[in-house]
Amino acid sequence: MNEKQTEELSSLLKMRGDIEVDSPESADIIILNTCSVRRRAEVRIEGRIGEFKRLKEKNNPIIVVAGCYAQAHREKILERFPYVDKVVGPFDFMNIPELLNDSGKLYTDEKRTDWKIILPERAKVSSFVRIMEGCNNFCSYCIVPYVRGRERSKPSSMVIEEVAGLVERGAKEVVLLGQNVNSYGKDIPGEVSFAQLLYKLNDVEGLERIRFTTSHPKDMSDELIEAMAELPKVCEHLHLPVQGGNDRILKLMNRGYTKAQYRALVDKIRDKIPGIALTTDIIVGYPTETEEEFQELLEFIREIRFDQVYSAIFSRRPMAKASELPDLPYEIKQKRYEIFNQVQNEISREINEKLIGTIQDVLIEEVKTKFPDQSKGRTRTNKVVVVEKKIPPGEIIMVKIMDATEYTLKGEIL
Ligand code: SF4
């Protein structure tokens, strides 16, 4: 989400005549688009802002701290780093070009999103498209609803226009982004559902592949599963964050489903869409998680066999309800995290090794800069494939898989 917003802001600034420079030392304006999903991201950003003090004294660039960290800490940023010129939350992020001419310092009021279609000169082969912002779910560990506000969908007519514009500029694949794409459209009376939006996008000429993220399991409708099974451009990959592997923890997390319900959903999806790759997010070391509950989580991932898991150690977030619970000692969390990843890496490797000898359609995304004779692309199931040849990005080639690790496949062009 941040990457896409940064790209859009950069296009807006270029339209008003600004140019991008290579280093902060030669910049007149420095904009930090920040994340606050975990404390670690915040520590990094605080270090970065600290580094700019010397630069401010030397060259006096305008320093803007923007995004979720800005929204979460607001005036405290100005108190701690008085040389910061502006603190801009996600609601005003796209207004930064105008705000640069304004004398104010703090822009963190919650407001409606005025959606704009911002197209780059040349689109990436796989381009992100923001289709909604915010979240209504209030999972106990998550800061998103507090910093990005409630769900706001981009009207479907704009999404379709944007996707068509990206395709005209070279995109072959779009990745639709939202904190919970499954509830797309519910905030706009008469708007289409997410599944219906997929049907409309499937008709965009020249578009080859459609992906989306993230889907909340409790909102995964039969209509959406049907659309995924039916639409040729929608890829056979689903990111379906489960977060925990034990009913007590899932309840504490306020996720709105049990382990059995999640398992039944996975069965239904695998039944309707054979060969689909499933990925997920897991929080390890949730407050009060016992050793038995951690073992249950391991059993659960062994049972479901996700293609890949994005795991994170629990991190206390201000405002989020879970920060009121007693945190586990860091060493326990760290140990469980290591064990968890060992188990999952083995599963991911086994799943990928089964692909050796199969033929896959690979959409080439880039020629590797370090190895110019290698190209990198993805299968429809979102697996990264490297081939030993320079292929123009945007081409879809048939590849025979020759080797596999937990993260990457190696292939030979047919
Ligand atoms: S659904 Fe996702 S974004 Fe929304 S509160 Fe839960 S974890 Fe955060």
Write the CA distances from 129 to 3, 153, 174, 201, 377, integer angstroms. Answer: 11, 12, 7, 12, 19
Using the predicted structure, report yes or no on whether residue 372 has a pLDDT greater than 90: no
Other residues' Cβ atoms within 10 Å of the Cβ of residue 317: 22
What pLDDT shows up at residue 401? Answer: 98
> How far, in Å, from the CA of 282 to the mean position of ligand 1?
13
**Ligand 1, atom 8, residue with closest C-alpha:** 142
256 HSE (CA, 13 A, CB side): 10
**For position 369, what pLDDT does the model report?**
73
* Tokens 């060493």 belong to residue: 331
DSSP state, residue 126: E
**Distance, CA 241 to ligand 1 centroid (Å)?**
10
- Classify residue 240 by burial, with Cβ atoms within 10 Å: 0-12, 13-18, 19+: buried
Task: Calculate the alpha carbon distances from 299 to 109, 251, 267, 344, 346 in Å.
Answer: 44, 19, 17, 11, 14
CATH of domain 2-107: 3.40.50.12160
Cα 310 to middle of ligand 1, angstroms = 15
Nearest atom (ligand 1) to Cα of 179? 3
DSSP H stretches of helix in 242-308: 247-252, 259-272, 291-304
Ligand 1 centroid–CA 8 distance in Å is 23
Q: Is 404 exposed, middle or buried (0-12, 13-18, 19+ CB in 10 A)?
A: buried
pLDDT for 318: 84
Kindly state if the Cβ of 144 falls inside 6 Å of ligand 1: yes
State which of 138, 139, 152 you would mutate to test the pocket of ligand 1, scoring each by most atoms of that ligand within 8 A of its C-beta: 139
Please name the residues in contact with 397: beta carbons below 8 A apart, sequence gap of 6 or more: 361, 362, 364, 377, 387, 391, 413, 414
Q: Identify the architecture of domain 116-235 in CATH.
A: 2-Layer Sandwich (3.30)
Please name the residue whose Cα sits nearest to atom 1 of ligand 1: 137
**pLDDT tens digits for range 256-309:** 999 999 999 999 999 999 999 999 999 999 999 999 999 999 999 999 999 999
CA angle 221-224-227, nearest 5°? 150
Tell me: the pLDDT tens digits for 297-354? 999 999 999 999 999 999 999 889 999 999 999 999 999 999 999 999 999 999 999 9
Q: Helix-strand-coil percent breakdown of the chain, rounded to 5?
A: 40, 20, 40
Cα of 138 vs centre of ligand 1, distance in Å, is: 6
**Model confidence pLDDT, tens digit, residues 66-118:** 999 999 999 999 999 999 999 999 999 999 999 999 999 999 999 888 899 99
Other Cβ atoms closer than 10 A to 231: 16
Calpha distance 241→262 (Å, rounded): 10
The Cα 362–Cα 208 span in angstroms is 11
Q: Domain 359-413, what fold?
A: OB fold (Dihydrolipoamide Acetyltransferase, E2P) (2.40.50)
Long-range pairs, 79-84, Cβ under 8 A, ≥24: 81/49, 81/50, 81/53, 83/52, 83/53, 83/56, 83/57, 84/49
Query: Residues with Cβ < 8 Å from 309, sequence gap 6 or more?
Result: 279, 280, 281, 282, 301, 344, 348
The strand pairing partners of 48, in sequence order, are none
Residue 59 exposed, middle or buried by CB count within 10 Å (0-12, 13-18, 19+): middle
Q: Is 243 in the pocket of ligand 1 (CB under 6 A)?
A: no
Angle at 391 between CA 388 and CA 394, to 5 degrees: 135
Q: Model pTM?
A: 0.95
Tokens 């409630």 belong to 150
- Show me where the domains of the chain are located: 2-107, 116-235, 359-413
pLDDT of residue 368: 72
Probe residue for ligand 1, chosen from 142, 146, 182 as the CB with the greatest number of ligand atoms within 8 Å:
142
Mean pLDDT for all residues in the chain: 96
Q: Which residues contact 348 (CB under 8 A, 6 or more apart)?
A: 306, 307, 308, 309, 406, 407
Whole-angstrom Cα Rg for the chain: 22
Span 142-189, pLDDT tens digits: 999 999 999 999 999 999 999 999 999 999 999 999 999 999 999 999
148 CB within 6 A, ligand 1? no
Dihedral of CA 271/274/280/284: which sign?
A: positive
